[in-house]
Amino acid sequence: MKTIPEILNHCAELSFDLNFSKAKLWKSESPERILVGYLPIYLPREIVHAAGGLAVGIMGAGDRKQIIKGDAYYQSYICHLPRGVIEMALDASLDHFDGFLFPSICDCVRNLSGMFKIINRGKFARYFDYPQNFSPQVGGVFYRQLIQTILDDMEKINGVKVTPEMLNNSISLFNLNRRLIEKIYSIKQNYPWRLSAVDTYHLLRAGLSIPVEEHNDMLTAVLNFLKDDSGQPQDNIRVIVSGSFCEQPPIGLIKSIEMSGCYIIDDDFMLGSRWIMGDINSETDDPLNEIVHAFLERSQFSSAIYDVGNPKGKRLVEIAKRKNADGIIFCAASFCDPALLDRPEMQKVCDEAGIPHINFQFHENTGQFKVIKEQAGTFADSIKLWA
């Protein structure tokens, strides 16, 4: 039985193991096991689990890898994540992966799916094109066909035919996973000093490269620890960080925000793990239908999704009010089209609601945080003094 510091240290190692050693070891233990890598943001990991696979989140190379070959595949001015991922694909980091899925978030990721086909990585590489029509008869049918295609891809590799019972079991495990994560966020909302933003980040990111059963055990242990009082409250403001759902900010940046006097009480760093709000029905003859409907009806707000009937700015403000946040930090990767296109509208709604906000941009390998610390610190002070 590991102690909480041991669990959190282990999570930190898993989060930045760009060789995915743990996932590869897991696969080596049985010939039926497969690894399916996926890019941010969301993948219904239940379907991979049910097929005897492990869905492994590829969140970029961060500041842990020098990009040399990857720069030749993309324009120099775009965000950093795709160049880091192609660099990982060109060295041995993604060997032993059976397939790759590229959720629809932007053209950079769409192009990455094509590059993986050209360089012939994995037995399948698909653009995972979320529906942008939320009618069950249109987007629902389309989404179901897409998921079925991936189930077929996996069956061709390991011969596992997914039954409703298998899928129900996987759904219930991921339901538990989301519930535990939300409980941890809920405690952090009221007692943010009990678990730092960096530890929270590592805890969630580690779950992208290990079996959900193991992650659930870790989350349960940390949740039990958080129920007891620990740590000392500081005179910090409470902020929500928004816009970092794809390329991930360096750990130093997250640390700098907290050290400058801001408790991060909510964020979208690991949005994919928290995508579906609430449980998906896991006692049904047609679990695929439940996964489809959960996506159509209970997705978190995201720049990856068309939102004409349910604007993102409004939803962000609702979260800020519900969580009693003092302000919002818009923190997006440099050149991140989806986040930066949404930002002005979201800022406008924040202004109308009287919610203070600041913004800055980063690269996943940014190494200088002094300016960000000063900006976040000034934001915190101004709220403490004048809000």
- The answer to whether residue 380 forms part of the interface with ligand SF4 (CB under 6 A) is no
Size of the site for ligand SF4 (CB under 6 A): 13
- The answer to whether residue 47 forms part of the interface with ligand SF4 (CB under 6 A) is no
Least Cβ distance, residue 105 to ligand SF4 (angstroms): 4
Residues 338-367 that bind ligand SF4 (CB under 6 A): 338
Question: Considering only 96-104, 175-183, 186-194, 335-343, which stretch makes contact with ligand SF4 by CB under 6 A?
Answer: 335-343
Least Cβ distance, residue 130 to ligand SF4 (angstroms): 13
Tally of CB atoms within 10 A around 119: 12
Instruction: Compute the CA torsion angle 89, 94, 95, 97 (nearest 10 deg).
Output: -120
Least Cβ distance, residue 248 to ligand SF4 (angstroms): 9
String marking each residue 78-117 x if it binds ligand SF4 according to CB under 6 A? -x-xx----------------------xx-xx--------
Q: What are phi and psi of 138, to 5 degrees?
A: -115, -75
189/365 with CB nearer ligand SF4: 365
Least Cβ distance, residue 84 to ligand SF4 (angstroms): 10
Tally of CB atoms within 10 A around 118: 9
> Up-side HSE of residue 336: CA atoms within 13 Å toward CB?
29
106/210 with CB nearer ligand SF4: 106
Question: Considering only 130-138, 313-321, 334-342, 373-381, which stretch makes contact with ligand SF4 by CB under 6 A?
Answer: 334-342
Tally of CB atoms within 10 A around 370: 8
- Residues facing 126 on adjacent strands: 101
Q: Are 333 and 171 in contact (CB under 8 A)?
A: no
Nearest CA among 71, 69, 127 for reference residue 93? 69
Residues 179-238 that bind ligand SF4 (CB under 6 A): none
Q: Which of 203, 240, 333, 358 binds ligand SF4 (CB under 6 A)?
A: 333
Query: Which helix (H) or strand (E) element contains residue 37?
Result: strand 34-38
- The answer to whether residue 337 forms part of the interface with ligand SF4 (CB under 6 A) is yes
Least Cβ distance, residue 336 to ligand SF4 (angstroms): 3
74/97 with CB nearer ligand SF4: 74
In angstroms, the CA 259 to CA 236 distance is 9
- Residues facing 124 on adjacent strands: 99
Which two structure tokens, joined as six digits, stand for 366? 């940014």
56/246 with CB nearer ligand SF4: 246
String marking each residue 290-309 x if it binds ligand SF4 according to CB under 6 A? --------------------
Question: Considering only 23-31, 276-284, 315-323, 332-340, which stretch makes contact with ligand SF4 by CB under 6 A?
Answer: 332-340
Q: Which residues, other chains included, contact 207 with Cβ-Cβ below 8 Å and sequence gap of 6+?
A: 177, 215, 218, 219, 270, 273
Nearest CA among 303, 307, 380 for reference residue 109? 303
174/301 with CB nearer ligand SF4: 301
Q: Which of 46, 153, 247, 258 binds ligand SF4 (CB under 6 A)?
A: 247
Q: Dihedral sign for Cα 9, 11, 17, 21, please.
A: positive
Q: Dihedral sign for Cα 239, 9, 57, 78, please.
A: positive
277/341 with CB nearer ligand SF4: 341
Question: Considering only 23-31, 45-53, 207-215, 331-339, which stretch makes contact with ligand SF4 by CB under 6 A?
Answer: 331-339
Least Cβ distance, residue 254 to ligand SF4 (angstroms): 16
Ordered strands of the 357-362 beta sheet: 262-267, 237-242, 327-333, 357-362
Q: What are phi and psi of 264, to 5 degrees?
A: -85, 105
77/386 with CB nearer ligand SF4: 77
124/362 with CB nearer ligand SF4: 362
Q: Are 229 and 191 in contact (CB under 8 A)?
A: yes
Q: What are phi and psi of 174, to 5 degrees?
A: -75, -30
Query: Which residues form the interface with ligand SF4 (CB under 6 A)?
Result: 79, 81-82, 105-106, 108-109, 246-247, 333, 336-338
